[in-house]
Amino acid sequence: MANLYIDTRGRAEEPIPFTQAVVQGLADGGGLYVPQSIPQFSLDEILNLSTMPYAQRAAHIYKAFGIDLPESQVDELMDAAYGSNFDSADICPITSLDENTHILELWHGPTSAFKDMALQCLPLFFSASAQKLRDEGVIDHTFLILVATSGDTGKAALEGFKDKDGVKIGVLYPHGGVSDIQHKQMATQAGENVKVWAVRGNFDDCQTGVKLTFADSEFAQELMSEHKVALSSANSINWGRLLPQVVYYVSSYAQLVAQGKVEAGAPIDVCVPTGNFGNILAAWYAKQMGAPIERLLCASNENRVLTDFINTGTYDISDREFVLTPSPSMDILVSSNLERQLFELTGRNAEAIAGWMNDLNTQKKFRVDPETFAALRRDFASDSVSSDDCLKTIKEVLDEHDYLLDPHTAVAYKVAERLRGENPVLVASTAHWAKFGVSVYRALHDLAPDAGLPADVAELTGCELNNLIAQQTGKSHIPAGLAELDTKPLRFKQVIDAGKPNIQDATRAFLSE
């Protein structure tokens, strides 16, 4: 039976099905969609997942969530989402460093970051949802996805949406503000429906420009009347990006048991390097469904707003500086998906959520009530890791376990080490090390997080630096998508000025091509 979606602030008019929640993204009134009911799995049902290929596990869980698409179509979409586009048949294999430390490798997709786990899946469901709504006469337009990126999300979104029907995608990144690898990953992007712009300014300029463009109703009307196109976003507030992440937590419990690493039914803790709170929230939903997950360990870098919140009950950005760290995808001050978590922990109290979000807007902080804080403390523990310690951890783990971590995973590894109890810990590994070669090089050579590289090393391209690291560490496997970047022609070279009018002009030109 179809499950309907309600919003966290209680402002949306009525519950809507999955397909509408996916194409809409954000609810009217600013809230986020969550499913009305969360399916419950028995231990047997969870363990049985290990007998299926990953795509079938995902389809099984989607069906349990009451997706309003035919079951055969869900099967087909999942086969397309999780197949040979990943470089491991397991899709997200688990590597165990010792008896109680298991690394869930979420970076075997085409862009080598964990966002592929969701963004190889969401675009297929987005496209199918839009088609269904067109067939039913609910909408009569196509979509343009606009994404502002600091590096990783943009590439994963481009790769996910490329050549999907009924949708185009445009990505904006800060000119000169991303690594050589990230720049080349985006500028070489294939696909007939894609566009990439470098923006003169920083990430904030990109994001503000996109937000203002989304908020401009006149512009929306123009796109609709001239191009029959509606704007949409692919960021992690979309439920269609969260559900694929729930899949791998339930699935990896089954995997651990099948591999004899955990006894059936025994609890594990999960440790997640956290930015926007999407990945760790997915683990919480997996726990709600019945996966024997005891504690969720939330790992922060020096931007420790979440750690402070989980330890005090106050979320406060009023006097907090944004810090650049070796784990840039966790350099975030406002973690949008925390709103869903609080909605669930308050017993779905939309009034409370609307109030706290209003406090955050007006006073740059909010404080949860004692019951909600107690509920938070029952499920979560958190710590933050300095940039120095992050790099030291990369070197220590290589020396001790012959395993090379990326800086995001290193933050989680360190927090797991500090907070672990008796339970085995599943550490979410969110990127391949070769996406962050500069920081990995510093780690291996005992350089400070912000140190310049030796002149001969600084001259290398991202690919050449990765080859050097591979030589020095014996970690010779570099994913094909990263290894070949220097040989691919740069397809997108356009640089535009920041600001809404420039972004809108670029958008018009793209749609008129």
Ligand X SMILES: *Cc1c(COP(=O)(O)O)cnc(C)c1O
| Region from 107-115, 122-130, 160-168, 446-454 binding ligand X, contact rule CB under 6 A | 107-115
Identify the residue among 9, 57, 108, 115 touching ligand X (CB under 6 A): 115
Cβ distance to ligand X smaller for residue 209 or 407? 407
Cβ distance to ligand X smaller for residue 219 or 277? 277
Residue 361 tokens, joined:
């807007």
Residue 417's nearest CA partner among 400, 431, 435 is 400
Degrees, nearest 5: CA angle 151-154-160: 140
Active-site residue, from 63, 115, 168, 435: 115
Closest distance to ligand X from the beta carbon of 114 (Å)? 6
**Residue 334 half-sphere exposure, CB side, CA atoms within 13 Å?**
13
| Beta-bridge mates of residue 169 | 145, 194
| Region from 46-54, 77-85, 93-101, 268-276 binding ligand X, contact rule CB under 6 A | 268-276
Closest distance to ligand X from the beta carbon of 276 (Å)? 3
- Told to check if 330 binds ligand X by CB under 6 A, we report yes
Measure CA of the first residue to CA of the last residue in the chain; give whole Å. Answer: 42
Rounded distance between C-alpha atoms, residue 110 and residue 104, angstroms: 17
- Told to check if 111 binds ligand X by CB under 6 A, we report no
Q: Which helix (H) or strand (E) element contains residue 421?
A: none
Closest distance to ligand X from the beta carbon of 441 (Å)? 18
Per-residue mark of binding to ligand X, 270-299 (x: CB under 6 A):
---xxxxxxx--------------------
Angstrom CA distances, 2 to 18, 35, 64, stand at: 8, 10, 9
Residue 111 tokens, joined:
């862009």
- Told to check if 236 binds ligand X by CB under 6 A, we report yes
Edge-to-edge strand list for the sheet holding 33-35: 16-17, 4-7, 33-35
Closest distance to ligand X from the beta carbon of 85 (Å)? 18
# residues near ligand X by CB under 6 A: 17
- Told to check if 393 binds ligand X by CB under 6 A, we report no
- Told to check if 25 binds ligand X by CB under 6 A, we report no
- Told to check if 152 binds ligand X by CB under 6 A, we report yes
Cβ distance to ligand X smaller for residue 127 or 301? 301
Closest distance to ligand X from the beta carbon of 416 (Å)? 15
Give the phi and the psi of residue 386 in degrees, each rounded to 5: -70, 160
Cβ distance to ligand X smaller for residue 117 or 289? 117
Closest distance to ligand X from the beta carbon of 160 (Å)? 14
Cβ distance to ligand X smaller for residue 148 or 496? 148
Cβ distance to ligand X smaller for residue 166 or 278? 278
- Told to check if 113 binds ligand X by CB under 6 A, we report yes
Q: Where are the beta strands (DSSP E) in 58-134?
A: 94-98, 101-105
Q: What is the DSSP letter of 355?
A: H
User: Quick check: helix, strand or coil at residue 172?
Assistant: strand
| Region from 18-26, 112-120, 286-294, 459-467 binding ligand X, contact rule CB under 6 A | 112-120
Cβ distance to ligand X smaller for residue 17 or 109? 109
Rounded distance between C-alpha atoms, residue 427 and residue 271, angstroms: 5
Active site residue 155: no
Closest distance to ligand X from the beta carbon of 118 (Å)? 9
Full DSSP string of 374-398? HHHHHHEEEEE--HHHHHHHHHHHH
Closest distance to ligand X from the beta carbon of 431 (Å)? 4
- Told to check if 431 binds ligand X by CB under 6 A, we report yes
- Told to check if 182 binds ligand X by CB under 6 A, we report no
- Told to check if 329 binds ligand X by CB under 6 A, we report yes
Residue 148's nearest CA partner among 230, 219, 234, 224 is 234
CB burial of residue 264 (10 Å; 0-12, 13-18, 19+): middle
Rounded distance between C-alpha atoms, residue 283 and residue 260, angstroms: 21
**What is the amino acid identity at position 449?**
P
Cβ distance to ligand X smaller for residue 126 or 436? 436
Q: Cβ neighbours of residue 139 under 8 Å, at least 6 residues apart?
A: 23, 130, 133, 230
Residue ranges that bind ligand X, judged by CB under 6 A: 113-115, 152, 236, 273-279, 329-330, 408, 430-431
Which residues are catalytically annotated? 115
